[in-house]
Structure 1
Amino acid sequence: MSSKKALLILAGGLGSRYKGLKQIDGILDNGSPILEYSIYDALEADFSKVVIIVNRRIPESYIERLNTISQKEQFELHWVYQEKESFLPQDYDSSGREKPWGTGHAVLCAKSAIQEPFVMINADDFYGKEVYQRASEEIALHISESQFGMAAYPVASTLSGNGNVARGICTLDADNYLVKIEEQTSIRKEGNLIMYTEKGKNIEIASNTLVSMNFFIFNPDIFNALEMYFNDFIKSDPEPSQEFYVPSAVQKMIDEKKAKILVKTSPSKWMGVTYADDKSSIKDFLASEIKNNRYPEDLWN
């Protein structure tokens, strides 16, 4: 197995709640979107390859911008389109499908581009500098075809003041291996409490409950499982809006004892943009990081 490490960035979403392509929306005057900060942090942690999953709405001008950056900074860069037809049976009719197939399918689309251990992230989440250093160490020490990793964050640090958020609530065993990951789409703050609603009932969760923010550390063997599970998903005749998610596939691997996922609390602060009004918070945060010499004013100058 090569010592090369890859960063896989999921940037194929449609940004409906953000009302725009937040994946490439520059935060500060330097024009860098969040994903460029993630690339910068990963390069510092000895990652040398970046694969970005995109949709056809990504403008050519941004692709050219990042291609130029990759040549200047000398890292390997691959663009992969999440096409609706990818990995579907030849006779499957997807004409009634408008949305992408979900994050599990997005990762699967990168199968031919990645042959080494990799970290998977969302394009619109800022995960923090230190978490990439830790991921690099995990790849060197623990990641294999039967053991993956995940960086989790306390739920209180991942909320938005502008509406509900979807988070994967994690249940761990005594050795910090993932037992269950349960997606909840209505997590929000009510006064001093953190709540979500399930089957019409409001449920309180502790502020230090660990949640998944889609920061996974995978061995490339994950692609074989994803392909099999996606095939099962298609055979189940899903509804037009139903999606195939990475956490669901990971849960299946755990249940079938095909892999263990070691969960560690991230040492870094998480920031993200679910809604357009979230942008001001991360703008202020990044400005303070630059002031504290954590990032240069212009990442690539």
Structure 2
Amino acid sequence: MKTTLIIMAAGIGSRFGGGIKQLEKMGPNGEIIMDYSIYDAVEAGFDKVVFIIRKDIEADFKEIIGNRIGKQVEVDYVFQDINDIPEGFTVPEGRTKPWGTGQAVLCCKGVVKEPFLVINADDYYGKEAFVKMHDFLVNHEEDKERFRLGMAGYVLKNTLSDNGTVTRGVCVVDEKSGYLEKILETHSIYADEKGKVHCEEADVAEWIHPDVNVSMNMWAGYPDFIDYLEEGFREFLAHIEDNPMKKEYLLPNIVELLLNQDKATVKVYETADRWFGVTYLEDKPFVVDSIRGLIKDGVYPENLWA
């Protein structure tokens, strides 16, 4: 069965050459975080990569990573554009903020026709999650009654940054079945000196703890979900009047809505791997040290694509 890795990279800016955090060189031979994600995905069994980018960065993106990765695995591109909205809608005057991760994946409609896994461009996920997500996709199939999804569940304390707050999809998971019951997009998460977790949302702050499962936007699904995103995007655009400049069509919110409507099942596969990424440029030394440690431990070769 063919499976595709979708990488959301449209947020990468056009000013290349060291100023864009997602393209900072982290590995000993200039590898960036995406290199390690793609390497792990190919090793797990994924045989195609689709990059979601903006049209204005296509040439630069291909020069930095796309052409190189194309020598290792089949590669395709789709383009996210704020003006790419359904007929009958218009972009609110003055809005520059992209529509979010839901619209990003919707851009793959017609290109991704096989089971897929979605990830962020600037997050390191670890090998375990890719294996579990690939196994989920090849051992299941589309459900005629509900959207069948898989999610990598990371332990919150393994996804925090020492350099500032983070946003995570905080999850409520049924302990017996391992299925997702609720996911709440939660902002300004951090742990204090005593390890107590704090966040912006008061209702979540009452029960959030260091070992709770969180989403890092690693979702596994089937083409029927991409088809649904088109319908959902229309519904979203019809109700943005409360915050037309900044409201986003986000995957965690989409999944939460489907769960509330009993239209989806989401199997959560917990991973003990530690996330790292460049939420802040100050995170770079930790990322570089982490990759160096993984190479020393034999997780990755010194020259990744040799």
Give the TM-score, by structure 2 length.
Answer: 0.89
Name the structure 2 match of 1:23.
Answer: 22
- Give the C-alpha shift of residue 101 in structure 1: 0.4
Q: 1:59 to 1:225 in 2, by over 3 A?
A: closer
**In structure 2, what is the Cα distance between the partners aligned to 1:201 and 1:130?**
28
Name the structure 1 match of 2:287.
Answer: 282
Q: 1:25 to 1:81 in 2, by over 3 A?
A: farther
SS at match of 2:97: coil
**In structure 1, what is the Cα distance between the partners aligned to 2:101 and 2:4?**
17
Name the structure 1 match of 2:39.
Answer: 40
**In structure 2, what is the Cα distance between the partners aligned to 1:200 and 1:47?**
39
1:81 to 79, 98, 102: 79
- Give the C-alpha shift of residue 26 in structure 1: 1.7
Name the structure 1 match of 2:218.
Answer: 215
**In structure 2, what is the Cα distance between the partners aligned to 1:216 and 1:8?**
10
Name the structure 1 match of 2:111.
Answer: 113
1:248 to 230, 253, 265: 253
Alignment of 1:113-262 (within 5 A): 113-145=111-143, 146-173=147-174, 174-192=176-194, 193-199=196-202, 203=206, 205-238=208-241, 239-262=244-267
Contact kept, 8 Å, 1:143 with 1:218, in 2: the verdict is no
- Give the C-alpha shift of residue 267 in structure 1: 4.2
**In structure 1, what is the Cα distance between the partners aligned to 2:163 and 2:55?**
28
**In structure 1, what is the Cα distance between the partners aligned to 2:152 and 2:204?**
29
Question: Matched residues, percent identical?
Answer: 38
- Provide Cα deviations, 1:20-45, integer angstroms capped at 9, x if missing partner: 53222221341221111100000111
SS at match of 2:170: strand
Comparing 3-12 with 144-153, which one deviates more in the overlay?
A: 144-153
**In structure 2, what is the Cα distance between the partners aligned to 1:217 and 1:79?**
19
- Give the C-alpha shift of residue 244 in structure 1: 0.7
SS at match of 1:243: coil
- Give the C-alpha shift of residue 197 in structure 1: 2.9
SS at match of 2:76: strand
Q: 1:94 to 1:67 in 2, by over 3 A?
A: same
Contact kept, 8 Å, 2:6 with 2:117, in 1: the verdict is yes
Q: Give the CA RMSD over aligned residues.
A: 2.1
SS at match of 2:110: helix
**In structure 1, what is the Cα distance between the partners aligned to 2:111 and 2:275?**
28
**In structure 1, what is the Cα distance between the partners aligned to 2:81 and 2:282?**
30
Q: 1:160 to 1:181 in 2, by over 3 A?
A: same
Alignment of 1:1-12 (within 5 A): 3-12=1-10
**In structure 2, what is the Cα distance between the partners aligned to 1:30 and 1:178?**
39
Comparing 50-59 with 282-291, which one deviates more in the overlay?
A: 50-59
Aligned AA (2:213): L
Comparing 137-146 with 86-95, which one deviates more in the overlay?
A: 86-95
Contact kept, 8 Å, 1:196 with 1:204, in 2: the verdict is no
SS at match of 1:26: coil
Name the structure 2 match of 1:100.
Answer: 98
- Give the C-alpha shift of residue 194 in structure 1: 1.3
Contact kept, 8 Å, 2:48 with 2:75, in 1: the verdict is yes
Comparing 219-228 with 143-152, which one deviates more in the overlay?
A: 143-152
**In structure 2, what is the Cα distance between the partners aligned to 1:252 and 1:207?**
25
- Give the C-alpha shift of residue 96 in structure 1: 2.2
Contact kept, 8 Å, 2:22 with 2:278, in 1: the verdict is no
SS at match of 2:118: strand
Give the TM-score, by structure 1 length.
Answer: 0.91
